[in-house]
Amino acid sequence: MQGSKGVRTRVLLIAAMAVVIASASLASLLLIRHQLLDEVTDRLSRDLQRSVGTSQDLQAQRLNGLDRENALLADLPSLKALMTTHDVRTIQNGAVEFRNVSGNDLFALADTEGQVVAAYTNASVRSDPQLASRLEPVLASPNMLYLISGDRLFACSVRPLYFGSEASGALLGYVISGFAIDRSLVDQISRATMVQAAFVSSGRDLASSTIAPPAQDWLMRSAPTSRGSAPSALTLGGERYLAITVDLTSKSSAPLQLVVLKSFTEADNSIRQIDQLILIAGLLAMLLGTLLMLALSHAVTRPLEQLAAGVRAFGSGDSAHLLPLRGTREVLDLSTSFSGMRQEIQQTNRALLEAERLATIGRMASSISHDLRHYLAAVYANAEFLASARLSESERVDVLADIRSAVFGTTELLESMLTFGRTGSAVRRAPEMMATLLERAVDLVRKHPDAANVSIVARYGFPGTTLAVVDAQQIERAVYNILLNACQSRSSSPAMIHVNATLEVQEDHIVLEVTDDGAGVPDDIRSSLFEPFVSQGKQKGSGLGLTLAHCIAAEHGGYLVLVSSRPGETIFRMCIVRGLAPEESVFHETSTPEVANEAKLS
């Protein structure tokens, strides 16, 4: 679209470089981040597997120690003697001393039928019927190692009591010992394995967890559902973990799972630092790339800009503008081709100008030859009449008037040719009243033979407002030509023609409209009306009148146009710039006619 500007090549190069670097940085960031996450997940999975094995080994060591302690208790003669009483109250009372001796968190005695007769924990020294009932499944299943009592978890060891040797003695009952798996024990496991652990039973926290209380609620609601060695990811309290769940239900008195978790926090921090390094590297690469691209684009686009400036200068008429001598091979080839084309165009233009000059001279000679012959013939014929002695004084006066009219016509024709040749040079501007220039032009037109039987009316309102800085001689000539053109618009009818000239004063311009009721402008010359030597339907005329008026209006910052034309109404409009300073415009627009005349005379 005309007037639109495209994107500069330099901007395109820099934008393309920025997009490439940004895309490469983003792709590298995503790929490296994905690979790091995979490696971190794999490493955490291996750590969790090792941690589960380590925690199970630690518990096995504690259970082995508990079994040895329980075996020593079962060999005590005093405990065997207590169990031979078979009296529940006696056994309960005596069991307190043995519980204190063992120092374990759980101590219980059962008879030969597997009925628990005494059960104590470190939280109570009294018999606990509910605890006793929960211990009976442990006695019934030799492989059961864990006891859940309320919100407490115990690891248990069961040892039978024999009167005599174990192989041939009589069974006296069972001794049960256990230690509590609480927060302190889980902390030891966590420190040894560098993970966090929690024991969960049917959605209940057993106070055996290293996880912070806010995250424990999350763990209760979103405990991992996977079992065995497959790790799973979960989020607790806004923090990501990788977790493995070990099902201990087969060794427990109630459903029980051990959840071992490893936090992603440290790995996320490391990945975040790597992301920041990649982003910083990308930004540095973009900065360095931008600087490099600026230098490269300057070396590439600068010759192009010089070449474009040369093309624009040549388009405006400056054929001496220097073209680029450095740049890429393509730019140099284009510059060489344009230089050759410029020379060819200059040669062609010179040839066209010479041909146009000759054609103009020919059209000029053809246009004025008829009028000159007409005027010279009138002078020659009337001069012969003057030489005759038979003419009366009145006839001599008429002949002399015809000779004067022919000379006046010849002078006017030559003056038009000279003015056409001088248009655009030596313009002398001064403050003038356009109303005065219009009156002078009307007076001159009324004296012209073509103004016979023509009514000319000039309207210009308040004369003092029509001040403008113009070349008075040229403007008067332009107005004269427009009015004379209107007077020459008569058809074959001898009816009177009415010509109206109106001045309209605007803030920065003065507009002259000339209206006539003649035959109108022929359609076939409207497009070339203001070209030189264009005339049709007139007995006389060089075809320069409107051309001169058009050029003079343009030289005064305005225009001359044919507004409309039809039989009975033709309107020409000429507009010129007033060219006044603000104080001059205000003064003359508010002054009286007398003051305006005084200002003009001064």
Both tokens assigned to 185: 């024990």
- Strand arrangement of the beta sheet that strand 146-149 belongs to: 116-121, 106-110, 170-180, 152-163, 146-149
Whether residue 220 contacts residue 205, with contact meaning beta carbons closer than 8 Å, is answered with yes
Whether residue 264 contacts residue 44, with contact meaning beta carbons closer than 8 Å, is answered with yes
Rounded to an integer, what distance in angstroms lies between the CA atom of residue 483 and that of residue 258? 114
Instruction: Provide the 3-class DSSP secondary structure of residue 459.
Output: strand
Which pLDDT score, from 0 to 100, does residue 296 have?
78
Rounded to an integer, what distance in angstroms lies between the CA atom of residue 578 and that of residue 509? 5
Instruction: Express each pLDDT in 451-466 by its tens digit.
Output: 888 899 999 877 778 8
pLDDT < 70 regions, the chain: 1-6, 123-129, 202-230, 237, 356-375, 378, 380, 405, 409, 412-427, 490-494, 532-543, 581-602
Which pLDDT score, from 0 to 100, does residue 439 have?
92
Give the helix/strand (H/E) hosting 529. Answer: none
Instruction: Express each pLDDT in 210-235 by its tens digit.
Output: 666 656 665 655 555 445 556 777 77
Q: Give the single-character DSSP code of 251.
A: G
Rounded to an integer, what distance in angstroms lies between the CA atom of residue 122 and that of residue 108? 12
Supply the pTM of this predicted model.
0.44
Q: Which of the four CATH numbers 3.40.50.1970, 3.30.565.10, 3.40.640.10, 3.50.50.60 does domain 426-601 have?
A: 3.30.565.10
Which pLDDT score, from 0 to 100, does residue 598 have?
34
Instruction: Provide the 3-class DSSP secondary structure of residue 456.
Output: strand
Both tokens assigned to 567: 């039989």
Whether residue 489 contacts residue 516, with contact meaning beta carbons closer than 8 Å, is answered with yes
Q: Which amino acid does the sequence have at 116?
A: V
Q: Phi and psi at residue 275, in whole multiples of 5°?
A: -60, -45
- DSSP string covering 314-369, please? HHTT-TTPPPP-SS-HHHHHHHHHHHHHHHHHHHHHHHHHHHHHHHHHHHHHHHHH
Whether residue 310 contacts residue 339, with contact meaning beta carbons closer than 8 Å, is answered with no
Which pLDDT score, from 0 to 100, does residue 362 have?
64
Q: Looking up tokens 């501007």, which residue turns up?
A: 429
Q: Where are the domains of the chain?
A: 75-180, 426-601
Whether residue 364 contacts residue 418, with contact meaning beta carbons closer than 8 Å, is answered with no
Q: Which of the four CATH numbers 3.30.450.220, 3.40.50.300, 3.40.50.720, 3.40.50.2300 does domain 75-180 have?
A: 3.30.450.220
Which pLDDT score, from 0 to 100, does residue 49 have?
79
Sign, Cα dihedral of 493, 494, 495, 501: positive
Q: Give me the residues paired with residue 575 across strands.
A: 511, 559
Rounded to an integer, what distance in angstroms lies between the CA atom of residue 602 and that of residue 590? 18
Whole-number CA gyration radius for the chain: 60
Which pLDDT score, from 0 to 100, does residue 116 have?
86
Rounded to an integer, what distance in angstroms lies between the CA atom of residue 76 and that of residue 86? 17
- Closest to 83 (Cα-Cα) out of 103, 113, 110, 101: 110
Q: What's the gap between Cα 589 and its chain centre?
A: 52
Distances (CA, A) of 539 to 120, 368, 370, 490: 144, 12, 10, 11
Q: Looking up tokens 């019927």, which residue turns up?
A: 129
Whether residue 438 contacts residue 478, with contact meaning beta carbons closer than 8 Å, is answered with no
Which pLDDT score, from 0 to 100, does residue 528 have?
74
